[in-house]
């Protein structure tokens, strides 16, 4: 299709835009319209659309601005909370990764040293009764249960517990 703009298109469009069509249309422009398809299309289409617009605007069902204002504020507040929530989530993931690393390192250390504390656990019911003083004594005497192991394990469990509690409270 060839694009053939007519030199009088703007004139026709301007009359239509001002709402002066066809009352203020000079006779020679009317005569031009009957001969020029491009200008005729503009007049026909613009009239149809302007009529449709005025009808649709009259039947529009619009909500109250207050309700939309409230929705927009809620939307913006949620977006702000989400924005500040991102670094917190990053910190949680970092803490979890550190804890997992400690657990894995501990397990690797124990595996390398033959899980001596497991054999100690098997011997426990036979050798000792389950009194706290006996337990602490045995832990200090047994080389597999040194403070070097107990402290990181306790710290890891405490940290993991804290993370779990925090995540649970966040969800609620």
Partner 1 sequence: MKEPLPMHRESILPNVLAGDATRATELPMDSDAFAGFYERSARPLWAYLARVSGDPALADDLMQESFVRFLGASNPGDGEVAGRRYLFRIATNLLRDHWRRPRQSSIEEISEEFFAATANSAPSDLLAPAMALMRPRERQLLWLAHAEGYSHREIAEITGLGSASIRLLLFRARRRIASLLRQQSSTHQRLP
What residues line the site for partner 1 (CB under 8 A)?
Answer: 1, 3, 17, 40-42, 44-46, 48-53, 55-57, 60-63, 65-66, 68-69, 71-73, 75-77, 79-81, 83-84
Kindly state the smallest distance separating residue 33's Cβ from partner 1, in Å: 12
How big is the chain, counted in residues? 172
H helix intervals, 19-146: 27-35, 37-59, 65-112, 116-127, 132-141
43: CB partners within 8 A, 6+ apart: 12, 16, 21, 33
What SS3 state is found at 61? coil
End-to-end CA separation in angstroms for the chain = 63
Reading the block at residue 102, the tokens are 């400690």
Kindly state the smallest distance separating residue 127's Cβ from partner 1, in Å: 55
CA distances from 121 to 28, 134, 166 (A): 110, 13, 33
Kindly state the smallest distance separating residue 91's Cβ from partner 1, in Å: 13
Kindly state the smallest distance separating residue 166's Cβ from partner 1, in Å: 17
Nearer Cβ to partner 1, position 41 or 120? 41
Element at 131 (helix H, strand E): none
Nearer Cβ to partner 1, position 62 or 168? 62
Nearer Cβ to partner 1, position 92 or 110? 92
Nearer Cβ to partner 1, position 13 or 103? 13
Kindly state the smallest distance separating residue 10's Cβ from partner 1, in Å: 11
Nearer Cβ to partner 1, position 39 or 145? 39
**Residue 143 contacts residue 116 (beta carbons within 8 Å):** yes
């Amino acid at each position: 299709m060839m694009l053939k703009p007519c030199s009088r298109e703007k004139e026709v469009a301007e009359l239509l835009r001002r709402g002066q069509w066809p009352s203020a249309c000079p006779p020679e422009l009317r005569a031009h319209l009957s001969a020029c398809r491009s200008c005729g299309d503009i007049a026909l289409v613009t009239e149809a659309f302007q009529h449709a617009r005025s009808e649709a605007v009259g039947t529009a069902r619009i909500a109250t601005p207050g309700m939309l204002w409230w929705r927009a504020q809620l939307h913006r507040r949620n977006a702000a909370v989400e924005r500040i929530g991102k670094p917190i989530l990053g910190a949680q993931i970092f803490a979890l990764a550190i804890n997992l690393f400690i657990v894995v390192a501990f397990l690797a250390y124990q595996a390398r040293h033959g899980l001596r504390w497991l054999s100690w656990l098997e011997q426990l019911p036979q050798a000792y009764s389950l009194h706290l003083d006996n337990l602490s004594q045995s832990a200090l005497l047994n080389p597999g249960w040194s403070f070097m192991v107990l402290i990181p394990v306790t710290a890891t469990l405490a940290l993991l517990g804290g993370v779990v509690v925090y995540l649970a409270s966040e969800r609620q």
